[in-house]
C-alpha cells in the first residue's frame, strides 16, 4: 500500500508543482492587461476573462521593444531615456544596479554562469558546485595576489540565493557538465545526478616504447 502511495506522489507532485509555477507565471504576466483601457479588456469585449491573453501581450511588447531598439533611431531613444533616468535620485541607483545585472545575465556576450566549477566551501574537505561569473575587478584586483576568479555559490534547493566569492583559480576544478545539468543537480539536492563519464587514462606511446626498451 505504501509503495503505491509513494509511486503516486512521485508522479503527481512534479506535475502539480509544474502546473503551479506555470499558473503563477501566466497569472503574473496577465496583469499586463490592466495597462489597457477598461473597454479594451476581454471582460468588456467578450464578457469573461481569457487566461494567457496577458502573457501573449507581454511577450509581444517585449518582442516589439527589442525590434524597435535594434536600429539607429531606437538606440538614440533608449540612450535619451536612460540619461533621463540616471538623473533621478534614488531611482538612478536602483536602475543602474539592475541594468548591470540584467545586461550580464541576458546578454549574448555575457560571461555569467558560463562554467560549472567544483570548489572547497565552506571549509577544507567539503566541496560544492559554483558557477564562474568572471574575474575580480575595480580596486579589488589591487589587493589579490595571483590569479583569482569570481564565482557564485547557489544555495539548495533555491539557486536564486547564494554567495559571491573570489577564489584562486588553482583551487577550482572545472567540471565536464553544462550549467543546466549543474543547476538540476543543485536544485534536486544531489538526487538528480548528471550522467557520469569515466575519464580514460591517456597513455603516451613514446613513453610506452621507452619503458619497453631493454636496459
What average pLDDT is seen over the chain? 80
Q: Over the stretch 28-62, which tens digit does the pLDDT of each residue have?
A: 888 888 878 888 888 888 888 788 888 888 888 88
Provide the whole-model pTM: 0.53
Contact 134, 150 (CB under 8 A): yes
Give pLDDT tens digits for 96-149: 777 766 666 665 555 567 789 999 999 999 999 999 988 898 899 899 999 999
Please state the rounded mean pLDDT for residues 166-188.
89
> Which residue in this structure is represented by grid cell 502573457?
55
Q: How far apart are CA 108 and CA 183, in angstroms?
A: 20
What contacts 141, CB < 8 A, 6 or more positions away? Answer: 135
pLDDT bin (cut points 50, 70, 90) of residue 22 is confident
* pLDDT value of position 203: 45
Question: How distant, in Å, are the alpha carbons of 55, 63, 76 from that of 36?
Answer: 14, 18, 27
Which of 16-20, 78-82, 96-100, 119-123 bottoms out in mean pLDDT, i.e. has the lowest? 96-100
Of residues 102, 109, 98, 162, the one with CA closest to residue 131:
162
Give the model's pLDDT for residue 128.
Answer: 93
Measured in degrees and rounded to the nearest 5, phi and psi for residue 113 equal 55, 45
Amino acid at each position: 500500500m505504501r509503495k503505491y502511495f509513494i509511486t503516486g506522489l512521485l508522479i503527481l507532485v512534479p506535475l502539480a508543482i509544474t502546473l503551479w509555477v506555470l499558473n503563477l507565471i501566466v497569472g503574473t504576466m496577465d496583469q499586463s492587461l490592466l495597462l489597457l483601457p477598461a473597454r479594451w479588456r476581454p471582460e468588456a469585449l467578450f464578457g469573461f476573462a481569457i487566461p494567457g491573453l496577458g502573457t501573449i501581450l507581454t511577450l509581444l511588447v517585449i518582442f516589439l521593444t527589442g525590434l524597435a531598439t535594434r536600429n539607429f533611431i531606437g538606440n538614440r531613444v533608449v540612450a535619451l531615456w536612460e540619461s533621463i533616468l540616471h538623473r533621478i535620485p534614488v531611482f538612478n541607483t536602483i536602475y543602474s544596479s539592475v541594468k548591470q545585472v540584467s545586461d550580464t545575465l541576458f546578454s549574448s556576450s555575457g560571461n555569467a554562469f558560463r562554467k560549472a566549477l567544483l570548489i572547497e566551501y565552506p571549509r577544507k574537505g567539503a566541496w560544492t558546485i559554483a558557477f564562474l561569473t568572471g574575474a575580480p575587478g575595480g580596486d579589488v584586483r589591487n589587493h589579490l595576489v595571483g590569479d583569482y576568479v569570481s564565482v557564485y555559490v547557489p544555495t539548495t534547493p533555491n539557486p536564486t540565493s547564494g554567495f559571491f566569492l573570489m577564489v584562486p583559480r588553482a583551487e577550482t576544478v572545472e567540471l565536464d557538465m553544462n550549467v543546466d545539468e549543474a543547476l538540476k543537480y543543485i536544485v534536486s539536492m544531489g538526487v538528480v545526478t548528471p550522467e557520469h563519464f569515466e575519464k580514460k587514462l591517456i597513455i603516451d606511446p613514446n613513453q610506452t616504447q621507452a619503458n619497453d626498451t631493454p636496459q
